[in-house]
Amino acid sequence: MPKAPAGTLYRGREGMWSWVAHRVTGVLIFFFLFAHVLDTALVRVSADSYDRVIDTYKTPLVNVMELGLVGAVLFHALNGLRVMAIDFWDKGARFQRQMTWAIVAVFIVVMVPGAYFMLKHTVEAIFGSAS
């Protein structure tokens, strides 16, 4: 009886995982846009209701969710550039693995300081200012 291959369900390595992450981030961005259209539409219904909804966005949980949104948009955009390079560059498929690691590196370089600045106010509000 042949031995089952070790590893994950997805055997495509970096290419398959970036494909999955691209689809997931795309769906998350779609749901954000849907919610954003709905909450903005509240202005026409009731300014008071709109103000209450906007006030809920000023919570630490939503701040963390905003960080997730920025991460999803950044990854989706960077990976979209990689997909375009694979499609339109004659050597793109040959270098797709290196391009995947390059977008991961760019993602980390941008998101680490971005996360610091995005969460700084929330962390200070929860734990107090260090000054």
Average pLDDT over residues 80-106: 93
Mean pLDDT of the chain: 89
pLDDT in tens, 75-85: 999 999 999 99
**For 2-16, 93-107, 108-122, which range has the lowest pLDDT when averaged over its residues?**
2-16
CA distances from residue 22 to 12, 32, 122 in whole angstroms, order as listed: 14, 15, 28
What pTM value is reported for the model? 0.82
Every domain of the chain and the residues it spans: 14-124
Q: Residue 90 has what pLDDT?
A: 92
Q: Distance between CA atoms of 67 and 62, rounded to whole angstroms?
A: 9
Among 98, 106, 112, 97, residue whose Cα is nearest residue 78: 106
Q: Residue 15 has what pLDDT?
A: 83
pLDDT in tens, 50-66: 999 899 988 999 999 99
Pick the CATH number of 14-124 from 3.30.420.480, 3.40.50.300, 1.20.1300.10, 2.40.30.160: 1.20.1300.10
For residue 2, pLDDT beyond 80: no
Largest separation between any pair of C-alpha atoms in the chain: 68
